[in-house]
Amino acid sequence: MIRISIDAMGGDHGPEVTLPGLLRVAERRPDARFVLFGREDAVRPVLDRLPDLKAISDFTHCDVAVRMDDKPSQALRQGRWKSSMWKAIEAVKTGEADACISAGNTGALMAMSKFCLRTMADIERPAIAAIWPTIRGESIVLDVGATIGADAQQLVDFAILGAAMANALFDVERPTVGLLNVGVEEIKGQEEVKEAGRMLREAALDSMHYHGFVEGDDIGKGTVDVVVTEGFAGNIALKSAEGTARQIAEYLREAMNQTFLARLGYLLAHGAFQRLREKMDVRKINGGVFLGLRGIVVKSHGGADEEGFAAAVELGYEMVKSGVFDRTRATLDLYHARKPAALAGSAVSHT
C-alpha cells in the first residue's frame, strides 16, 4: 500500500480537478491510498460525488489555502502549521504519507517543504527535477528552478540525486550523467561547471557514468539520462523547449487548416497525428520532483487537468515504489564517506 498526501486546494482549479485526477490514479494503481487536505466546503461536495475515491481516502479540513499568487514568504507566514499545503507536506514528515503532491504555487511549496521536511544530510540545497521527453525516451533534468546559481559541490549533489532518480524510474543500472554547458571553449566564467566535472570524474561513482559536458540540444537528443545544471539556466531551458513545442504545434495546426487537400490529408493521417500529439502531450510528463529533501514532494503544473494531475500523482507513487529515497541516501553516504574533504576539513559539519 502506498499512501499519498494531497493538497486538494492547489492548482488553478482546486478539488474539482485534483479529486477526479486521484480517481484515475486509483483505477490504475489499486494499492494507492490518499490523505486529503483542504477546505471542507470545497472538498466535501466533490468527494461525496466520488464514492470510490472516498472509500480509499482520509480527509482533513484546513482553514487556510495558499493562493497561487502568494509570495513564498507570505505563504509561510499565513499558511505554516495550518494550510492544506503545509498539512500535506507534514503528513510525509510524520509518516502518515509516503509522498506529497500539490498543484499549488511552486515557490510556496518549495519554501514550506524546505522548512517542514528539511534537506537530507550532506545536501545543502534541494533541486527540482523534470522528466524531459527525448528522441531516445526520457531524461531527467535538474535543477529546473529551485535555486539560482549552484557551486561545484551542489552540482555534484544534483548529479547524485538525479542519477538515483533515473536509476529507480528508468531502471538503468548506471545512468549516464552530463553537465549542461555552452560549447565554446576557453570562455570566461562557469568555473563551477568545470570544477563539478573534475569532481565527478575523480569520484568515479558506481551509481552513475559521468559523460562530461552536454549542450542545450543534447537534452532533446537524449544524449544522457541525467542533465545537471543550476536552476536559472535549467528553468530557461525547460521553458524555451516548452515554448518551442507549443509554437510548432501552432504552426502545424495552421498549416493543416490552410487548404482542402491539407485538411483531407490530416483526416487520413489522423491516427499518426494522434500519436504525435500523445508524444508531445505535456500532461503525461507533468510533475517536478523536489529532490534532496527528507521526503518526497511532487509539484504538479498549476493548470494541469485531471489526467495531468494524475500523472504527477503517479510520478510520486513511482518514486515511493522504486525506493528512490533509500537509493539516494545510500549513494550520498558512500560518496561523502569516501570524499577526502569529508575526512579532512568538513568532517565537523557532517557529523
Q: Which is nearer to a copy of itself, 255 or 330 (CB)?
A: 255
Nearest residue (CB) to a copy of itself, 139 versus 331: 139
Q: Least Å distance between CB 65 and a copy of itself?
A: 19
Burial 313-328 (b: 16+ CB within 10 A, else e): bbbbbbbbbbebbebb
**What is the edge-to-edge ordering of all strands in the sheet holding 57-61?**
57-61, 32-38, 2-7, 99-102, 296-299, 288-291, 127-133, 138-142, 226-228, 176-180, 209-214
SS3 128: strand
Which is nearer to a copy of itself, 21 or 133 (by Cβ)? 133
Alpha-carbon gap, residue 190 to 73, rounded angstroms: 30
Nearer to a copy of itself (CB atom), residue 25 or residue 108: 108
- To the nearest whole angstrom, how small is the minimum distance from the Cβ of residue 317 to a copy of itself? 26
Rounded CA gap, 339 and 205, in Å?
Answer: 11
Shortest distance, position 135 Cβ to a copy of itself, whole Å = 5
Pairwise CA distance, residues 171 & 69, whole Å: 38
Minimum distance of a copy of itself from residue 90's CB (angstroms): 22
Question: Is the previous residue joined to 143 through a cis bond, with omega within 30 degrees of 0?
Answer: yes
- Match 491510498 to its residue by C-alpha cell: 33
Cβ of residue 161: shortest distance to a copy of itself, in angstroms?
Answer: 19
Give the nearer residue to a copy of itself in terms of CB position, either 233 or 297.
233
Yes or no: say if 152 and 190 are a contact pair by the CB < 8 Å rule: no
- Cβ distance to a copy of itself smaller for residue 45 or 265: 265
β-bridge partners, 4: 34, 99
Which CB, 276 or 330, lies closer to a copy of itself?
A: 276
Q: Outline where DSSP puts E strands in the chain.
A: 2-7, 32-38, 57-61, 99-102, 127-133, 138-142, 176-180, 209-214, 226-228, 288-291, 296-299
Looking at the Cβ atoms of 38 and 126, the one nearer to a copy of itself is 126
Q: Among candidates 318, 300, 258, 238, which has minimal Cα distance to 102?
A: 300
Q: How far is the CB of 267 from a copy of itself (least distance, A)?
A: 7
Residue 190: Cβ-neighbour burial (10 angstroms; 0-12, 13-18, 19+): middle
Compare residues 50 and 236 and give the one whose CB is closer to a copy of itself. 236
3-class DSSP state for residue 61?
A: strand
Number of H helices, E strands in the chain: 15, 11
- Helix 40-49 to helix 15-28 angle (10° resolution) is 40
